[in-house]
């Protein structure tokens, strides 16, 4: 069983750790009965995906799983809601709070996602507060969540949902309202386990 990582640019289709990267426009032929999950990058063509909604709905309701990154502006899957910009003024407004445990983020500290910096290697959080830039994980949120949704992370003092998942038929949908999750899986952050956990979730191994 494999996971498809749909991209805007053509890839060679090589399978790496059970994940095969494809051009999103090849999705109709690439998503066959061997595929358990789809990982959609944040820059994916949502207008095209909107045209593919019947097949995407069928894939998930039939038991497939999908991770959606970025700012959803087209409801290309049943249950999706559109992304909204967060009104923020300082890093406190972007602080990540985990409100529900989820297997994709298991064993990671929400604080490790807040800041980004060009400094190589691990950097203590106190130093990140001084030299880092907040907001790369996400600067927006989702309202009007679908029935059965569980919020994983919220932002700031307004507790605005940024990560949530929900059931759709026999499958599940995971939405992350920011930059691609896989870019946050790194040894420097102490979050390298994120990649493997995300792929296992897409394979249906974790709930």
Report the CATH number that the domain containing residue 69 is assigned in CATH: 3.40.50
How many domains does the structure of the chain reveal? 1
Query: What percent of the chain lies above the pLDDT cut of 70?
Result: 81
Report residue 96 as tokens.
């990540």
Per-residue buried b or exposed e for 121-140, using 16+ beta carbons within 10 Å of the residue's own CB:
eebeeeebeeebebbbbbbb
For the stretch 33-65, pLDDT in tens is 888 999 999 989 999 999 999 999 999 999 999
Compute the average pLDDT of residues 15-33.
Answer: 82
Task: State the first-to-last Cα distance of the chain, in angstroms, to the nearest integer.
Answer: 17
Higher-confidence residue of 162 and 205: namely 162
207 in a structural domain: no
Q: Could you tell me which of 50, 9, 1, 41 has the C-alpha nearest to residue 26?
A: 9
**Alpha carbon distance 145, 163 (integer Å):** 11
Distance of CA 81 to the CA centre of its chain: 14
Structural domain boundaries, residue 7: 2-202
188 in a structural domain: yes
Residue pair 102/161 in contact (Cβ under 8 Å)? The answer is: no
**Alpha carbon distance 192, 186 (integer Å):** 4
Compute the average pLDDT of residues 195-205.
Answer: 89
Report residue 169 as tokens.
């038929």
Report residue 73 as tokens.
């502006």
């Amino acid at each position: 069983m494999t996971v498809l990582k749909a991209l805007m640019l053509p890839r060679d289709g090589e399978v790496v750790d059970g994940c095969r990267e494809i051009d999103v426009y090849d999705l109709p032929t690439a998503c066959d009965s061997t595929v358990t999950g789809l990982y959609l990058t944040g820059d994916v063509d949502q207008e095209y995906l909107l045209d593919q909604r019947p097949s995407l709905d069928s894939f998930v309701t039939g038991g497939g799983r999908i991770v959606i990154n970025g700012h959803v502006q087209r409801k290309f899957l049943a249950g999706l809601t559109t992304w909204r910009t967060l009104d923020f003024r300082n890093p406190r407004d972007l602080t990540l709070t985990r409100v529900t445990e989820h297997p994709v983020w298991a064993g990671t500290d929400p604080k490790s996602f807040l800041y980004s910096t060009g400094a190589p290697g691990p950097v203590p959080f106190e130093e990140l507060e001084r030299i880092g830039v907040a907001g790369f994980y996400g600067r927006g949120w989702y309202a009007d969540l679908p029935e059965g949704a569980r919020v994983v992370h919220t932002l700031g003092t307004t507790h605005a949902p940024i990560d949530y998942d929900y059931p759709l038929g026999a499958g599940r949908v995971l939405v992350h309202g920011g930059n691609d999750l896989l870019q946050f899986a790194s040894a420097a952050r102490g979050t390298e386990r994120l990649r493997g956990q995300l792929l296992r979730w897409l394979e249906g191994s974790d709930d």
